[in-house]
Structure 1
Amino acid sequence: MSRSSMRHPPVCADCTVSEPTWASINRGVLICDECCSVHRSLGRHISQVKSLKKGQWCPSQHAMVYILASNGANNIWEHTMLDPAQNKHGRRKPAPRDPLHPNKNDFIRAKYQFLSFVNKHKDSDASSIDDVSRELHSSVRTNNVETCLRLLSKGADPNYFYREKGNSPIHVAAQAGQTAQVELLCVYGADPGARDANGRPPYDYAK
């Protein structure tokens, strides 16, 4: 992911160090070497890290991370910190020169492991997990990947089977040609071989 591919020079999502060299794929953020060490300690079920400079990137996965990082996915994980009314304790993110332990370590664990800063208020039109999952089912047909990440952060089921529609979000994303959405759903556990009501997998929809 080149520096020129971002709207602004990239910085670490957790401590604002410039030129981050890692990405958390499932969180859609770029991170520095030091913060990456904490992400690794959280486990892949919390943060799936990958080097931006080493190894091979699948084009659809690269596009997904680029879209999320460029469109403020980090705001999902720091939502309450951005609102003075909700950030009653004045919590701030670590500065580049703050020590890894405890400052950066404690912040990263609160942010991603305990989801301390995620917006937990229910939307007026999505009062249950079922509602949020239906919203995800509809949203994956668009290119608003960050919207779907926000819904997943609220507990939307990536394998939700919409009985009235007869399929799952991954079928909808595949039919719409939204490869970044398909990638995001799979990162969050969607079954790429899921069958719709007629026994058709997402691949058939993509064709």
Structure 2
Amino acid sequence: MATEIKLNFINESNDQNNSQVVFFQKNIATDYDELAVAWKVIENCATGWQHPFTYPMTMKISAADSWGNEIIEPIVASNGQLFHVFSDPSGDQLTYQGPGASRNEVQLRNDLTNGSIDAKIYKNGKLLAVKTGVSPDQKAVFQFKPTLWVGVVSQIEEGQVMNSAIISDVNTELGLLGVASADIVMSGGGVGKNATKFQFTLENIVYA
């Protein structure tokens, strides 16, 4: 089984504003629209240029405590696993606890006596999702579809939690199930009466 998907962003648009392009995933484990994190932001990729990157299948879990401390090396996490944060004489610890309640989710429970935690998911060393303010005895739950959301944005940085207005403007979801490699082609844009909305399509798809 492939450990990563090779993607290549190609700008074939008529963009006149040197726009940023953001990629992110949505945590579908919650019953409400949780704010998403800008996982990857492509900048200064002009028309006629390309930007290759990889989407790893592996994700890692991390935690930050209410004192602002975060573990140095996030732990590899798979669906169906439960992790927990607890305290021992040396301080707060994050370890694998056992099977989770759902095989489709990664869960992180706060087993500290006092203090909330922030639960974080990383892919390719970049923040993918975060659940803030998880109280003692509560769990953060993460579940992702094999898709990437993509759209044109401005003034966004990787790792930034995007507000609902930005997320609502992004309406392209690219399915990656079974894909080994593909081009992501951006078209549209322009100025004046001939301008069209930006579009993103998967092309030259190679399946695993």
State the TM bucket, normalised to the shorter chain.
Answer: under 0.3
Q: Which has the larger radius of gyration?
A: 2
More strand by share: 2
Normalising by structure 2, we get a TM-score of: 0.26
Normalising by structure 1, we get a TM-score of: 0.26
Higher-RCO chain (CA-CA 8 Å, sequence separation at least 6):
2
